[in-house]
Amino acid sequence: MEDMIQMDRAMSTEQDIKISANGVQVYYGENHAIKDVNVEIQDKMVTAFIGPSGCGKSTFLRCINRMNDTIDICRVEGDIRIDGEDIYDARVDPVQLRAKVGMVFQKPNPFPKSIYDNVAYGPKIHGLARNKAELDEIVEKALRRGAIWDEVKDRLHAPGTGLSGGQQQRLCIARAVATEPEVLLMDEPCSALDPIATAQVEELIDELRQNYSVVIVTHSMQQAARVSQRTAFFHLGNLVEFGDTDKIFTNPEDPRTESYISGRIG
């Protein structure tokens, strides 16, 4: 088993690039939030974005599923490709894109519906199930992937808002997974959770890596070191350094990265 994971890992580094961004610029009105970012994110790997508050890491994350489209004053320039396809092309429906690129938010945001309906929401919208039995199956599979099935299987029709914070966040991950995305974006998924729930979610992220390309924004450098294989350091809208996590944390090239991870800036 361990060997297989090792093999997996060795293979995935050679695998093709899942997301590639070239010369991405983001403006909020007059404010230039992201400056000329180039990054290549590989499949079946966890990529962490770290950096001080307001450095643009969340903004960049939201470019990958075009969530920034919902903000009127936000303008994105440059080129972002998933599997070689330009996602800002006029032919791409942002709504369809978001089904392919799932997102988990900072604060757990289950809908005020039952646990079952929370997970079934995406599949129902996209018509992934032909009948109730298939939908049940999808829900169960998603909840298992979200590592929360055992805790909720007896109360699928209880409201999702009644779960604890950590459970809610895993429910939101299960909800995102239910639409069979290829990429999973996570915007500080643990910042509203206690250490135990954080540990559970981190463990889950590590498992999700087998099926998805995961991009996680985090404030905690320890978390980035624990869960990610590749790390990007953002500072003031610039991508300062991007490389293997081990290398970023042990032997950073840029003095700014070194200052940040040693706690001198940020």
Report d(CA 100, CA 109) in Å as an integer: 19
Listed in order, strand segments (DSSP E) in the chain are 17-28, 31-42, 46-50, 74-82, 85-86, 101-104, 183-187, 213-217, 230-235, 238-244
The single-letter code of the amino acid at 97 is: L
Residue placing its CB nearer to another protein in the complex, 35 or 124:
124
Helix (H, G, I), strand (E, B) or coil at 66: coil
**145 is an interface residue for another protein by CB under 8 A:** no
Tokens 């992934």, located at residue: 128
Q: Smallest gap, in angstroms, from Cβ of residue 71 to another protein? A: 10
Instruction: Mark residues 69-88: x for contact with another protein by CB under 8 A, - for none.
Output: -x-x----------------
Q: Smallest gap, in angstroms, from Cβ of residue 114 to another protein? A: 11
Phi, psi of 9 (to 5 degrees): -65, -45
What b-and-e string marks burial along 74-94, b requiring 16 or more CB atoms within 10 Å of the CB? bebebebbbeeeebbeeeeee
**122 is an interface residue for another protein by CB under 8 A:** yes
**97 is an interface residue for another protein by CB under 8 A:** yes
**32 is an interface residue for another protein by CB under 8 A:** no
**141 is an interface residue for another protein by CB under 8 A:** no
Helix (H, G, I), strand (E, B) or coil at 63: helix
At 33, list the tokens.
């939030």
**127 is an interface residue for another protein by CB under 8 A:** no
**125 is an interface residue for another protein by CB under 8 A:** yes
Q: Which of 20, 79, 140, 161 binds another protein (CB under 8 A)?
A: 161
**65 is an interface residue for another protein by CB under 8 A:** yes
Considering only the stretches 14-22, 101-109, 132-140, 224-232, report the one whose residues sit in contact with another protein under the rule CB under 8 A. 101-109
Q: 86 - beta bridge partners?
A: 81
Q: Which of 33, 61, 67, 115 binds another protein (CB under 8 A)?
A: 67
Q: If we measure between CA atoms, which residue out of 186, 209, 44, 196 comes closest to residue 107?
A: 186
Q: Smallest gap, in angstroms, from Cβ of residue 112 to another protein? A: 4
Length of the chain: 266
CB contact at 8 A, 88 and 79: yes
Q: Which of 121, 147, 182, 244 binds another protein (CB under 8 A)?
A: 121
Quick one: DSSP state of residue 67? G
Residue placing its CB nearer to another protein in the complex, 169 or 198:
169
Tokens 């409201």, located at residue: 159
- Total residues in contact with another protein, by rule CB under 8 A: 29
**138 is an interface residue for another protein by CB under 8 A:** no
End-to-end alpha carbon distance in the chain:
40
Please give the residues from 237 up to 266 whose contact with another protein meets the rule CB under 8 A: none
Q: Which parts of this chain interact with another protein (CB under 8 A)?
A: 65, 67, 70, 72, 95-100, 102-103, 105, 107, 109-113, 121-122, 125-126, 161-162, 172, 175-176, 179
